[in-house]
């Protein structure tokens, strides 16, 4: 990847390369914590970091990817949505569970432990996660299946997904900690599916 | 409550009262972390604390209550089981969800935040929680309804319960964060009920 020389020359305050990336991440955490995902702007994050706004696209690809990187989620939202959204809406729960388990398993659960520690210990991380659950990932997933009570359904999905992560990777309760992906999908997907498209009671 | 003078006189190493209680809690955390709930003994915890084993009953009522206090759970296991176990087994999921929400709500969610922070940050707390989920609370609940695959069912129940706690109290995703107890019960109890007595898939 090219070094963002134009920005550093323009402002003369930051060295090029990884330092720009790091400055953007630090600025993003402050901006997202203060204004939430929707309220934050790429321009203001770049200003806080002392670089040109084009550097956000250069280093991250856009606001969502910067948000994900700032939260240290092992997920690219666009890649995740491209994986789970296409296909039978009645199988959406299974695709969501499978994708999360595969993404988490790929990091040995370390990313999940870091995420839980972060949201339990820092209000700003909890707020960022709240935005992420409500609007970015699940909000868009729920929009696709277009049910009633979309916000409640999104929160319910979030509760089962994050609880699975805690039990499988943080507390490591057997047999769920060692269960293969298909066992996890078979047992938990019906829960997600009911929260997405079923009768809520 | 009486001060446990006999113990302090006997060993001459601890002042009476709250310090004995604190020493027992500290010793219990070490013992439970090293040996798990089943392997830990009241006698060894008392020895570590430098007090008589009778002090465990005096201050906590027994091993389970000492375990709960050491984990800083806002739950007395016996009181919880007495509340959820009696009644129609097909309504057990609803009773569990209602009880957890009422217990957590009573502390404003603060106990849940402390618990999550603790299990994410300390392996010993995670291990204690693992024992608690697997054996004490859910193990005994699942035994009552006597299904197949009891350990998997217990872990699944744990995942939905702890995920509800994280979303409602730690990340605070609306509308689940502010939903009244009956809304939470109506939406989440069917999940617990399937995990307890239903077809797992």
Domain ranges of chain B: 5-70, 72-197
Close Cβ partners of A142 (under 8 Å, ≥ 6 residues apart): A150, A153, A154, A157, A196
The listed CATH number (3.20.20.70, 1.20.1250.20, 1.10.357.10, 3.40.190.10) that belongs to domain A72-197: 1.10.357.10
The fold for domain B5-70 equals Arc Repressor Mutant, subunit A (1.10.10)
Calculate the average pLDDT of chain A.
80
Per the structure block, which two tokens stand in for B3? 């001060």
In A, minimum Cα distance to B94 occurs at A201
Whether B126 sits inside 8 A of A175 (CB atoms) is: no
Question: For residue A110, which of A55, A40, A151, A165 has the smallest C-alpha distance?
Answer: A165
Per residue in B144-162, pLDDT (tens digit) is: 776 788 889 989 998 999 8
Whether B116 sits inside 8 A of A113 (CB atoms) is: no
Q: What is the DSSP letter of A91?
A: G
Average pLDDT value for residue range B105-113? 73
Whether A166 sits inside 8 A of B201 (CB atoms) is: no
In B, minimum Cα distance to A175 occurs at B152
Q: Specify the higher pLDDT residue, A171 or A72.
A: A171
Whether A173 sits inside 8 A of B186 (CB atoms) is: no
Residue B102 CA: distances (Å) to CA of A190, B88, B184, B185:
26, 20, 11, 11
Which of A131, A147, A155, A182 to mutate to test binding with chain B, by most B CBs within 10 Å of its CB? A155
Calculate the average pLDDT of chain B.
80
Per residue in A122-139, pLDDT (tens digit) is: 666 677 677 766 666 666
Whether A201 sits inside 8 A of B191 (CB atoms) is: no
Chain B residues lying within 8 Å of A116, measured CB to CB:
116, 120, 166
CA distance, residue A163 to nearest chain B CA (Å): 4
């Amino acid at each position: 990847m090219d070094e963002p020389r134009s920005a550093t020359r323009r402002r003369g305050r930051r060295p090029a390369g990884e330092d720009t990336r790091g400055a953007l991440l630090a600025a993003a955490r402050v901006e997202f914590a203060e204004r939430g995902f929707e309220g934050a702007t790429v321009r203001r994050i770049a200003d806080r970091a002392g670089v040109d706004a084009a550097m956000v696209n250069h280093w991250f690809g856009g606001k969502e990817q910067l948000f994900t990187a700032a939260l240290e989620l092992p997920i690219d939202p666009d890649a995740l949505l491209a994986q789970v959204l296409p296909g039978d809406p009645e199988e959406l729960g299974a695709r969501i569970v499978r994708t999360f388990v595969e993404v988490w398993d790929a990091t040995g659960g370390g990313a999940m432990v870091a995420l839980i520690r972060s949201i339990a210990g820092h209000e700003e991380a909890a707020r960022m996660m709240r935005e992420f659950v409500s609007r970015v990932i699940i909000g868009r997933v729920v929009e696709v299946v277009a049910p009633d009570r979309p916000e409640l359904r999104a929160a319910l999905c979030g509760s089962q997904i994050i609880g699975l992560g805690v039990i499988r990777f943080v507390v490591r309760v057997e047999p769920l900690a060692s269960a293969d992906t298909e066992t996890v999908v078979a047992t938990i997907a019906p829960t997600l599916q009911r929260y997405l498209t079923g009768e809520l009671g």
